[in-house]
Structure 1
């Protein structure tokens, strides 16, 4: 008995080493896994937003109007908004590697179904699958960096994971637009499915087993929204993202209406937007680390001004591609910082509940995408496509009021 008692203490440190939160990967493999997660978030957000750059040919092929075609974005965003907090709770006890691989398989299936869709009803079903995969992957991936790299590298690794979202927001659409022009809009969805499967394989190889650390109840996630700083951050997200997607979902018909840009030039303008957006992501990330409120105020003012300039100034220049390029660059630079600055706001507002805050962020962000696409479609069909820019400017102004008047981290 004495020998057994003496043998006890060495066992406990070994058990601590096996806890999920203390799992250590070799440094290179850990960072490769983080990169794979970043590519995964890029894949899901790109899949969600592909219709933006393919709206006109997709609507023509499916025999629906631009406004109705934009509903494909609304459906995906709405499903993602609902699935993010629900899947965070329902799948909380499962190994995270298995969960991510399963969700990426759902995403790939949705993209393949969209590529095949012979009519709008099938496209709707396909976009539901994309929404489920997207909401789940985004919510689960958000909290994994802490388990893959040393503690000192967690902030940089987390930023890298979220950079996939920002880069997809600004580069995924022009990439899909170019591919759609070269090989048809259905090919763009096939490419998104291929990327999803490639990420699935990479995560299956690079991620270790990641058992759930704790089950996160849905009620606990929702209660975070009662905190004043969290509530203000979510309002800012809702206004900025709704306004942006009310206009950006219809950016192709808008540019076709107010500029002299042809299909090739449109792809170039979206690429300019994307490159500027990547720069905006990193610039806003640095600013948000110091003051989320100040960064959000600058972004909101710039987005409102840009929307107004496109609708008021661009037609007066005869639709100059140069002026259009400058305005699209400013739009990309400012919107590129939205996801990183608002995510920083929410994580700072609930530092002890990062996974729950991320689930709320994903839900509101994607709900705002759905609402923006729907509102933009109604406005575009009822008052003309350029009217969506007035709506975007108004909602960016509402975000300014919310960020300035509400509680913010650091108050």
Structure 2
């Protein structure tokens, strides 16, 4: 039963991530269609992430006592509506509006899925169950996100990408309704008992770490398609294949990270972060497409994808007394990182060109590493 719940949670995150990150592969087409710059098109990702960051903790606290199955189903209904409306090529303001609506329940879905999977598992298996659920992020990057981009490229019709997102949301919704058992939320914890973790300096440090780490990722990854097109000279179909390769190696990295986290969360988190910092340098010098570029993208995916899992585990470890709220704070700071990282990456593109984004990635990564060192000093006896 515990594995079944974890795998349905994983499927839910696949539907969620397909909607949130699905625009990454079609940003150039969206910019062209709406006659806007690519950094402005990037608002479709950064605005979504900002809503998650601001609404996440409050929504999670409010929803903590509700039936988890009902919450997950309601969230997927809203994702389904978003995909349908977006596929109709509405005015940009309406596209932006329907994009941010599901963001209000995004953190509730993640926190609920993780809590449902880990609450039924033994303590020694908790990180493995979390890895299965969070694995939905890497699976989406290997399957649904590149597939949506590929379909848009094949039909030369960016709306097709949103149609794919809607179909996936419908499949996830039906899976939740028919396969997930009813899961009452139990006794709702008081707001004061949950908020008390914000008084812990080490937890604040780990939250800032998550912000910088995820900001490092999305300062460049948000413009993945544009970067490979402008810097590496790839066409749309090749870019979708690179997204697939990125996701494949990311699944492997996520699997390895999930296995190793139970040994030493801090050390494994640092290893993947340092690797992410290191890969930004050759990425800047990658140049036209070659075998070396393809290998670099594979390594990039392997190092980057597990960072979602390691950052959450790193934060939750600091607040075991309120894991669901800690998870929502992790999601909020992570999405704040997505929003600010995407925005600064866009500003860098507007000022210095898209080739400059790996250095933003490098800077955010160093800041995250510094926050790890600060947290380590705070915890020293």
Q: Does 1:32 align with 2:4?
A: yes
Aligned to 1:402: 371
Q: Contact between 1:84 and 1:139, CA under 8 Å: does it hold in 2?
A: no
Residue 217 (structure 2) aligns with = 244
Give 1:148 shift: 4.9
Query: Residue 208 of structure 1: CA displacement?
Result: 2.6
- 1:152 and 1:405 map into 2 onto residues whose CA distance is 28
3-state SS of the aligned residue for 1:386?
helix
Alpha-carbon contact 1:80-1:134 (below 8 Å) kept: yes
Alpha-carbon displacement from aligned partner over 1:263-283 (angstroms, at most 9, x marks no partner):
222222222111111111112
1:375 corresponds in structure 2 to: 344
Shift of 1:238: 0.8
Does 2:228 match 1:255? yes
Aligned equivalents of 1:295, 1:36: Cα separation in 2: 26
Q: Shift in Å at residue 127 of structure 1?
A: 0.8
Pairing partner for 1:109 from 64, 74, 81:
81
**Which residue does 1:360 correspond to in 2?**
329
Q: d(CA) in 2 for partners of 1:406 and 1:151?
A: 24
Within 2, Cα distance between the matches of 1:205 and 1:33?
12
CA contact (8 A) 1:45 1:134 kept: no
Assess, with a 3 A threshold, how the Cα gap between structure 1 residues 123 and 401 changes in structure 2: closer, same or farther: same
- SS of the residue corresponding to residue 321 of structure 2 reads coil
Q: Cα gap change, 1:221/1:371 in structure 2, threshold over 3 Å: closer, same or farther?
A: farther
Q: CA deviation at 1:53?
A: 0.8
Contact between 1:221 and 1:356, CA under 8 Å: does it hold in 2? yes
- State the alpha-carbon separation in 2 of the partners of residues 290 and 309 from structure 1: 30
Counterpart for residue 215 of structure 1: 188
Name stretches of at least 5 consecutive residues in structure 1 with no aligned partner.
1-26
In 2, are the aligned partners of 1:80 and 1:136 still within 8 Å (CA)? no
Q: Which of residues 246, 249, 266 is equivalent to 1:273? A: 246
In structure 2, the CA distance between the partners of 1:222 and 1:321, relative to structure 1 (3 Å rule), is: farther
Quote the residue 2:308 is aligned against: 339
Instruction: Measure, in 1, the Cα distance between the counterparts of 2:282 and 2:127.
Output: 37
1:8 corresponds to which residue? none
Q: CA RMSD in A?
A: 2.2
Q: Return the match for 2:295 from 320, 326, 334.
A: 326
Q: 2:134 matched to 1:162?
A: yes
Go from structure 1 to structure 2 and tell me whether the alpha carbon gap of 1:288 and 1:93 turns closer, same or farther (over 3 Å shift): closer
Return the match for 1:76 from 48, 52, 64.
48
Q: Secondary structure at the match of 1:210?
A: coil
1:33–1:289 Cα change, 3 Å: closer
Shift of the 146–398 alpha-carbon distance from structure 1 to 2, 3 Å rule, reads closer
For residue 142 of structure 1, report the CA deviation from its aligned partner.
1.8
Q: 1:74 to 1:389 in 2, by over 3 A?
A: same
Contact kept? 1:273, 1:331, Cα under 8 Å:
yes
1:106-145 matches, within 5 Å, as: 106-145=78-117
Residue 243 of structure 1 contacts residue 395 of structure 1 at CA under 8 Å; is this kept in 2? yes
> What's the CA shift for 1:245?
0.4
- The alpha-carbon distance between structure 1 residues 52 and 346, as it changes in their structure 2 partners (threshold 3 A), is same
Distance 2:121 2:201 in 1: 32
**Equivalent pair of 1:276/1:330 in contact (CA under 8 Å):** yes
Inter-CA distance 145–383: structure 2 relative to 1 (3 Å threshold) = same
CA 264–408 in structure 1, closer or farther in 2 if over 3 Å, else same:
farther
Check the 8 A contact 1:111/1:130 in 2, yes or no: no
- State how far apart, in whole Å, the 1-side matches of 2:65 and 2:8 are: 23
Query: Structure 1 residues 229, 283: CA separation in 2 closer, same or farther (over 3 Å shift)?
Result: farther
Structure 2 Cα separation of the partners of residues 86 and 128 of structure 1? 16
8 A contact 2:141–2:243 mirrored in 1 = no
How far off is 1:125 after superposition? 0.6
User: Structure 2 unaligned runs (5+)?
Assistant: none
TM-score, normalised via structure 2 length: 0.92
Kindly indicate whether the alpha-carbon contact (under 8 Å) linking 1:278 and 1:336 is maintained by their aligned counterparts in 2: yes
CA distance in 2, matches of 1:302, 1:388: 17
Distance 1:173 1:205 in 2: 25
**Which residue number corresponds to residue 189 of structure 1?**
162
The equivalent position to 2:359 in structure 1, one of 376, 379, 390, is 390
Which residue of the partner structure matches residue 28 of structure 2? 56
Bigger radius of gyration: 1
Do the aligned partners of residues 300 and 171 (structure 1) sit closer, same or farther apart at CA in structure 2, a change above 3 Å counting? farther
SS state at 1:289 partner: coil
Q: Which moved more, 1:153-162 or 1:199-208?
A: 153-162
